[in-house]
Amino acid sequence: MMKKFLLLLALAIPSGVVHAELTQFTANKVQRAHNLQQEDKLPEAIELLAGLNPAKAYDKAFVKRMLGVFYWQQGSIKPAIDNLADAVDSGLLKDEQAWTTQRMLADILLTDAQYKRALPHYYQLTKNIPEQQQPESLWLRIAQSHYQLGEWQPVLKAVQVYQRYVKQPDVPILSMKLGAQLQLERWKSALPTLQSLIALEPDHLAWWQQMAGLQLRLGRTKNALETLALAKRQGVALTQQNLTTLAQLYAQQGIPERAAIIYSQLDGANNDAELMSMQAMYWQQAKEWDHAISAWKIAAKLDDRHRWALAQLLLQEGQFDQALAQLDKVKQKASKAEVELARVQAYYKMKDYEKAIIHAKQANNIQSSATSKSWIKYLNQMREMDG
Rounded CA-CA distance 292/301 in Å is 14
Residues 344 and 251 in one domain: no
Residues 322 and 386 in one domain: no
- pLDDT of 6: 40
What are the C-alpha distances in Å from 108 to residues 4, 47, 53, 105? 11, 21, 25, 5
Closest CA to 318 of 288, 345, 279, 285: 345
Q: Which range of residues forms the domain containing residue 96?
A: 1-133
Residues 105 and 6 in one domain: yes
Long-range contacts of 307-312 (CB under 8 A, 24+ apart): 307/331, 308/332, 308/335, 308/338, 308/339, 309/277, 309/280, 311/339, 311/342, 312/342
Does any domain span residue 198?
Answer: no
Residue 262 contacts residue 251 (beta carbons within 8 Å) = no
Minimum mean pLDDT range among 10-24, 171-185, 337-351: 10-24
Does any domain span residue 174?
Answer: no
Residues 344 and 366 in one domain: yes
- pLDDT of 334: 61
pLDDT in tens, 57-99: 999 999 999 999 999 999 999 999 999 999 999 988 887 889 9
Four-residue CA torsion sign, 227, 228, 230, 234? positive
- pLDDT of 15: 40
Residues 363 and 385 in one domain: yes
Residues 303 and 341 in one domain: no
Does any domain span residue 165?
Answer: no
Residues 121 and 244 in one domain: no
Residues 363 and 249 in one domain: no
Rounded CA-CA distance 362/337 in Å is 8
Q: Which of 288, 304, 326 is the last residue of a domain?
A: 326
Does any domain span residue 41?
Answer: yes
Closest CA to 236 of 261, 260, 262, 201: 201
Long-range contacts of 315-322 (CB under 8 A, 24+ apart): 315/342, 315/345, 315/346, 316/289, 317/289, 317/293, 318/349, 319/293, 320/346, 320/347, 320/349, 320/350
Residue 296 contacts residue 277 (beta carbons within 8 Å) = yes
**CATH number, position 60:** 1.25.40.10
Considering only residues 355 and 332, tell me which one the structure prediction assigns the higher pLDDT. Answer: 355
Rounded CA-CA distance 98/85 in Å is 11
Q: Please check the confidence at residue 385 and state whether its pLDDT lies above 80.
A: no
pLDDT in tens, 303-347: 999 999 999 999 999 999 999 999 999 887 667 889 999 999 999
Q: Residues of the chain with pLDDT > 70: what percent?
A: 94
Does any domain span residue 216?
Answer: no
- pLDDT of 219: 96
Considering only residues 190 and 377, tell me which one the structure prediction assigns the higher pLDDT. Answer: 190
Residues 9 and 129 in one domain: yes
Residues 386 and 279 in one domain: no
Does any domain span residue 141?
Answer: no
Does any domain span residue 152?
Answer: no
DSSP 317: T
Please state the domain count of the chain: 3
Q: Which of 89, 117, 133 is the last residue of a domain?
A: 133
Confidence of residue 19 (pLDDT cuts 50, 70, 90): low
**For residue 317, with 0-12 CB atoms within 10 Å meaning exposed, 13-18 middle and 19 or more buried, which class applies?**
middle
Strands (E), the chain: none
- pLDDT of 13: 52
Q: Which of 133, 157, 182 is the last residue of a domain?
A: 133
DSSP string, 319-375: -HHHHHHHHTT---GGGHHHHHHHHHHHHHHTT-HHHHHHHHHHHHHHS--HHHHHH
Residues 304 and 364 in one domain: no
Closest CA to 46 of 69, 21, 13: 69
Residues 24 and 128 in one domain: yes
Does any domain span residue 210?
Answer: no
Record the pTM.
0.81
pLDDT in tens, 121-130: 999 999 989 8
Q: What is the mean pLDDT of residues 124-150?
A: 94
pLDDT averaged over every residue in the chain: 90
- pLDDT of 387: 57
